Amino acid sequence: MFKDHSDQRTELERLTPGLRRYARALVARDVDDSRLEADALTSETLARAMRADHGARIQSQRIWLYATLTTLNRARARRRPPREKSASPDGKPAGRGVSDALDALPLDHREALLLVVLEGFTYGEAGDALGLSRAAVGARIARARSILDKRLDAAQPADARKKQNLPPYLRLVE
Amino acid sequence: MSASDIGDIELSAWLDGETPPSRKDAVERWLRAAPGAAARVDVWRRQNDILRGRFARVAAEAIPEAIWPTDEGGRREPRGKLNAIDDRDAPIQVERFDRARRSRRLRAALALLAAFVAGGTGVVASAALVGLATSQPTGVRAAAEPSQVEALAARAVDASRTFLRDPARPVEISAANPTEMARYLSRRIGLEVAPPSLVELGPRMLGARLTPGDLGPAGLIVYEDVDGERFGLVISRVSQPAASPTQIIKRRTRAVAVWISRGVGFALAGPNDPGRLTRLSAAIEAKAPAGAVDAPPAAK
């Protein structure tokens, strides 16, 4: 697939910014320092890309990278259960930023949503990366959107919600 | 909801441009006609904008050094945290044989050694080379035999370099069944081993495999820390069972804590973090009841 090592490195460099972005959004609030964790996941993915046998790979480099990072993150999440999410006494989540909203999504829903919305994957590509059918990807994304919607809506009183079309999180500063 | 109603999944797919051509008309008609449908899609569209806006700056950042450092030649090379075993680490013995070049036999043996180094089993070949050097009558100074402790350390680094970097299969027997794992190791190594758990210090036991040893096979226990860093613990019979206190031997980016106790050699290879290795090795020493019990030999 690559003529030589430097060819591949150039390609990886091109894909790294997006990979870092996906990693950061994916880790969300699972760990205390998501920046470090996200970069560690990205770094490990890149290292594996350099070590792997490229000739044998059928997927595109891009899909392989995101698939690998997704798997590594799942392994991390299994090893270290997400830290206690802070909640107010009446059960409503305390944080209202975007990362907190993402945090409310089950990991597999988060993955599908971020690949498509953040990284511009088609449903087919996301399915390849996640080992799912296009229909399954679509279902998860629809559900993810519904959860995000409800979760953020719950923090807002009902009449205020009716008054404007804008969802509450538009006014939040991250 | 009737059969002609368009549900969330189809609306969501429409927003993502994933509606098949045969459904496009139906969905768009629905969006125009059904109350709230367009508003719903609008909310999702704003979710998209928020997500992209929030994380755009990550993609715009310069790629940090830590992810993609340069190596000495100025080439950039990613260094994953997991199994960041430096390929430039040389087995200890190679340095000792620079002088031994004149004899043809030794030159051939050096070529063999180079092949073994590339394959990661340098210690085995270099042990043979030591034998070769000491038997040469040509006046080439025979290099000194590496001490037992150094040999153990070299074996641990080589075994780590060979096996630990495999992301999927670093071990042959999983730690999922610890009794079976201990029994297998004990039988093959000839020592009653009970590989110790280190999970309260971080590293989780993945499993074990055999690796070449001084007196027959040694055991290699693989641990994986929460951040993905792997450690390899070699447990081996040794020819001189005199106790030796824990030493830390460094090899560029890797280090090994090595000691001999109760007639057994231990070598824990990991990242160059002497404090951590010391703490882990102390825990291993406290927990591992390994002794040179004559375990039944493996059935042929």
- B199 and chain A: CB distance < 8 Å anywhere? no
- A112 and chain B: CB distance < 8 Å anywhere? no
Residue at A89 is within a domain = no
- B286 and chain A: CB distance < 8 Å anywhere? no
The answer to whether residues A104 and A76 belong to one domain is no
Which residue of B6, B8, B12, B27 is the best one to mutate when testing the A interface, meaning the one whose CB has the most A CBs within 10 A? Answer: B12
Question: Chains A and B: how many Cβ contacts under 8 Å?
Answer: 127
The H or E element spanning position B49 is helix B37-60
Residue window 67-106, chain A: list those with CB within 8 Å of chain B: 72, 75-76, 79-80, 98-99, 102
In b/e form, how buried is each residue of B184-221, taking b as 16+ CB within 10 angstroms?
Answer: bbbbbbbbbbbbbbbeeebbebbbbbbbbbbeebbbbb
From the list B16, B43, B79, the residue facing A167 with the nearest CB is B43
The answer to whether residues A107 and A174 belong to one domain is yes
The residue among B142 and B247 whose pLDDT is bigger is: B247
The answer to whether residues A37 and A103 belong to one domain is no
Number of domains forming the structure of chain A: 2
**CATH number, residue A144:** 1.10.10.10
Dihedral of alpha carbons B106, B112, B116, B117, sign: positive
The answer to whether residues A72 and A99 belong to one domain is no
Residue after which a domain boundary falls, among A81, A115, A132: A81
The answer to whether residues A109 and A174 belong to one domain is yes
The Cα B112–Cα B94 span in angstroms is: 12
Residue at A90 is within a domain = no
From the list A43, A123, A174, the residue facing B54 with the nearest CB is A174
**Which residue of chain B comes nearest to A79, CA vs CA?**
B226
The Cα B236–Cα B292 span in angstroms is: 10
The answer to whether residues A130 and A76 belong to one domain is no
Residue at A106 is within a domain = yes
The gap between the terminal CA atoms of chain B, to the nearest Å, is 70
The answer to whether residues A114 and A166 belong to one domain is yes
The answer to whether the beta carbons of residues A47 and B80 sit under 8 Å apart is yes
Domain B92-287 grouped into CATH 3.40.190.10: no
The Cα B47–Cα B44 span in angstroms is: 5
Chain A residues with CB under 8 Å of B12 CB are 138, 141-142, 145
Query: What ipTM was reported for this prediction?
Result: 0.80
List C-alpha distances in Å: A47 to A41, A142, B66, B186, B201.
Answer: 10, 34, 12, 35, 26
From the list B11, B46, B67, the residue facing A39 with the nearest CB is B67
- Dump pLDDT digits (tens) for B149-195: 888 888 898 899 889 888 778 898 888 888 889 899 988 888 888 88
The residue among B210 and B135 whose pLDDT is bigger is: B210
- B50 and chain A: CB distance < 8 Å anywhere? yes
Whether residue A20 and residue B59 make contact (CB cut-off 8 A), yes or no, is: yes
From the list B16, B39, B165, the residue facing A116 with the nearest CB is B16
Residue at A33 is within a domain = yes
- Dump pLDDT digits (tens) for B52-95: 988 998 999 888 877 874 443 445 555 444 333 343 433 333 33
Chain A residues with CB under 8 Å of B54 CB are 25, 98-99, 174
Whether residue B226 and residue A79 make contact (CB cut-off 8 A), yes or no, is: yes
Classify residue B297 as exposed, middle or buried by CB count within 10 Å of its CB (0-12, 13-18, 19+): exposed
Angle at B214 between CA B213 and CA B216, to 5 degrees: 60
pLDDT per residue, tens digit, chain A (174 aa), is: 455 566 777 888 899 999 999 999 999 876 767 888 899 999 999 888 877 765 556 678 899 999 999 999 999 888 776 555 544 444 444 455 788 889 889 999 999 999 999 999 999 999 999 999 999 999 999 999 999 986 655 434 444 444 445 555 554 343
Whether residue B51 and residue A25 make contact (CB cut-off 8 A), yes or no, is: yes
From B81's Cα to the closest Cα of chain A, the distance in A is 6
Residue after which a domain boundary falls, among A81, A105, A125: A81
- B47 and chain A: CB distance < 8 Å anywhere? yes
The answer to whether residues A105 and A173 belong to one domain is yes
Domain that holds residue A33: 1-81
Residue after which a domain boundary falls, among A26, A55, A81: A81
The Cα B226–Cα A11 span in angstroms is: 30
The answer to whether residues A156 and A133 belong to one domain is yes
Q: What is the pTM of this model?
A: 0.49
Helix extents (H) in B96-233: 104-119, 122-135, 148-159, 178-189
Which residue of A44, A46, A109 is the best one to mutate when testing the B interface, meaning the one whose CB has the most B CBs within 10 A? Answer: A44
| Beta pairing class for B264-271 and B230-237 | antiparallel
The dihedrals phi and psi of B220, each to the nearest 5 degrees, come to -120, 115
Whether residue A20 and residue B63 make contact (CB cut-off 8 A), yes or no, is: yes
